Amino acid sequence: MRIPFTGVGTALITPFRKDGSIDESSVRRLVRRQIDAGIHFVSPCGTTGEAPTLGDREKLRVCQLVVEEAAGRVPVLAGAGGYNTREVIDLIHELEGIGVDGILSVTPYYNKPTQEGLYQHYKAIAESTTLPIVLYNVPGRTGVNLEVQTVVRLSALPNVVGVKEASGNLVQMSEIVAAVPGDFLLLSGDDPIALAVMAVGGKGLISVASNAVPSEIVQLIELAEKGDFAGARRLHRWLLPFLQVNFIEANPIPVKAAMAAMGLIEEAYRLPLVPPSATARDKIVKVLQDLKLLGSAARV
């Protein structure tokens, strides 16, 4: 049996309607599509899910829909992080009642705590719940880096089971792998370098691109898990233009535009996110055309 939260987890987008409401039927449909494609777990209400624009009631509703649709077939790693430790703990308690399988918790942002502050923040969260906690380090967005020794300290807590690493720093990731217990999970938080992260000891990927191309991303990571890096490299090279174009503007703008072009969702964002510029949209569509991805994802 696969260890929970290894392999590929999709950082699920949150589909909206043009009136700004959550498109609940699309949430369910997208989860079904992910599971049918062989995804290993799903992660709603993170950065890609536009979590900063969702109220707590909306986050809980999205996670409830995902849990119901997953129906135990794949684990659900729900996003719950932020700069107010007590509010994060309160949200986690409510997520426990919904039945999520774990928590992905981004580092506090804006108030830029010290490494000791980060440790105490996560320690308080971990001690408040029996759910497994995956740390989320994305310093390009939060303004603070979760350093190697802090990850090592946190890995000693029984229910801190891994880290989603989106620093882009392969040396830092290599040092983490070398210093943490063997069962602690290092997950790539960046699609374009996921294969490299697997090569230095990563255990999987929490992916943006798999919203649009789940089976292809699953195949890539499973090849790496089997040690077939030659096959994984071939697939990586083919996918790379799409992996890169997803970040031509702020995530999740490009991947939502791509999914709309593929017929998967209605294209809608919440402010301060807006549709891509005409130039960016042209590049997104060209990549989809070049990879023959348009028309390959009929709505079901």
Is 123 tagged catalytic? no
pLDDT confidence bin for 1, thresholds 50/70/90: low
- pLDDT tens-digit series, residues 63-111: 999 999 999 999 999 999 999 999 999 999 999 999 999 999 999 999 9
Determine which helix (DSSP H) or strand (DSSP E) holds 201, and give its type and residue range.
Answer: none
Strand extents, DSSP E, the chain: 7-11, 41-43, 77-79, 102-106, 133-137, 160-165, 185-188, 204-207
- Which of the four pLDDT bands, split at 50, 70 and 90, describes residue 296? low
Q: Is the dihedral of CA 230, 187, 72, 265 positive or negative?
A: negative
Q: Per the residue annotation, which of 119, 122, 164, 283 is the catalytic one?
A: 164
Whether the per-residue pLDDT at 218 is higher than 80: the answer is yes
Give 190-213 pLDDT, tens digit per residue.
999 999 999 999 999 999 999 999
Percent of the chain with pLDDT over 90: 96
Share of the chain above pLDDT 70, in %: 98
Q: What is the pTM of this model?
A: 0.96
Considering 59, 119, 122, 136, which one is annotated as catalytic?
A: 136
Q: What is the pLDDT of residues 116-149, one digit of tens each?
A: 999 999 999 999 999 999 999 999 999 999 999 9
Signed CA dihedral, 242, 203, 146, 124: sign only? positive
The domain made up of 7-226 has a fold known as TIM Barrel (3.20.20)
- The whole-number pLDDT of residue 3 equals 84
pLDDT for res 180: 98
> For residue 300, what pLDDT is reported?
30
pLDDT tens for 104-119 read 999 999 999 999 999 9
Domain spans in the chain, listed from the N-terminal domain onward: 7-226
Q: Which letter does DSSP use for residue 159 in this model?
A: T
* Phi, then psi, of 76 in degrees rounded to 5: -115, 115
Token code pair at residue 296: 């390959």
Residue 292 annotated to the active site: no
Residue 268 CB neighbour total at 10 angstroms:
18
Core vs surface per residue 24-56: b (16+ CB within 10 A) or e: eebbebbbebbbebebbbbbbbbbbbbbeebee
Q: Which residues contact 224 (CB under 8 A, 6 or more apart)?
A: 195, 198, 199, 232
263-279 pLDDT, tens digit per residue, is 999 999 999 999 999 99
If one counts every other C-beta atom within 10 angstroms of the C-beta of residue 100, the result is 27
pLDDT (tens digit, 9 = 90+) per residue, 9-30?
999 999 999 999 999 999 999 9
